[in-house]
Amino acid sequence: MRYQPSISIATGGMAEIFLGTTAGDQPVRPLVAIKRPHPHLLRDRAFKESLLHEARIAARIHHANVVAVRDVVVDGDRVDLVMDYVEGVSFAELLEKARGVPPAVAVRVVLDACAGLHAAHELSDDDGTPLGIVHRDVSPQNILVGLDGVARVTDFGVAKSLESRARATTEGALKGKVGYMAPEYVDGRPIDRRADVFALGVVLWEALANERLFKGRNDAEILVKVQSARIPRMREIAPELADAIDPVLGRAIERVPEGRWPTARAFGNALEESARPDLVATYEEVGAIVRAV
């Protein structure tokens, strides 16, 4: 065994995550997070093959704002996704425990996420052919904010390359958190990186407004809201942010993909340029809030 799990640190509908170390006698053994899908899911051969395919793609993404997938270990019927361990909290936890964060912190986190997503979107194979990666599950839960103040995109477990999105076995299934899904995804239309831009725009809107954008009693109601509910402008929620944020954020959450920022980098660049200096927190400021919760 190349990695030794120690304690369970999280569990969800698809997997359990363990804190672990690299195995061996070396004096310094780095901490890792080991994501282990539930056994009943792995009994589905198509699921297992898709998981391995996408995990190996995710392992090719190397960027400071992406939680690195170090290894994929198959041991009989068990599959372990070994990732860098980030000491910190998810952005969702940070928003909940801190009861909201200053706008400058929200902007800093989203700028980091833009950079990480752009790196994934730009990934190519060994021949230089773009893989067309789309995360498909960008949400506050899948952005980790470390004690160092750096935000990193994680959980590419439902991410899809252009190749796998074309497979018949993946058609007809919505994956991800419904309140962050782009309208074209909900409609079953083809998606590209702009779906992730929409989701990240929703993350920023909610962090600034300190409330959910698309609310409903169940997923079906939320999906209807995603497609048709009026989206309040930031000037209605936080007038003091309107001039700096509204034009950029409004374009990120346009329902028509062609109206959105074409890339996560374009969204991030525009956000950084339009934000006042006091609207972009330093990493030290973000880290201080993480340590306090």
Catalytic residues: 137
- Residue 258 carries which side chain, given as an amino acid letter? E
Question: Exposed (0-12), middle (13-18) or buried (19+): which is 227, by Cβ within 10 Å?
Answer: middle
Distance CA 226, CA 214 (A): 6
Cα atoms found within 13 Å of the Cα of residue 200, Cβ hemisphere only: 37
> Across-strand partners of 19?
7, 33
Contact 106, 133 (CB under 8 A): no
- Residue 184: phi and psi, rounded to 5, are -65, -30
Distance CA 255, CA 231 (A): 10
Distance CA 280, CA 62 (A): 25
Closest CA to 246 of 194, 217, 287, 205: 205
Closest CA to 3 of 31, 27, 23: 23
**Sheet containing 143-146, strands listed edge to edge, beginning at the edge strand earlier in sequence:** 88-90, 143-146, 151-153
Question: Exposed (0-12), middle (13-18) or buried (19+): which is 78, by Cβ within 10 Å?
Answer: exposed
DSSP conformation letters of 128-193 = S-B---B-S--SGGGEEEETTS-EEE--GGG-B-HHHHTSGGGTT---S-GGG--HHHHTT----H
As given in the structure block, the two tokens for residue 252 are 């990120």
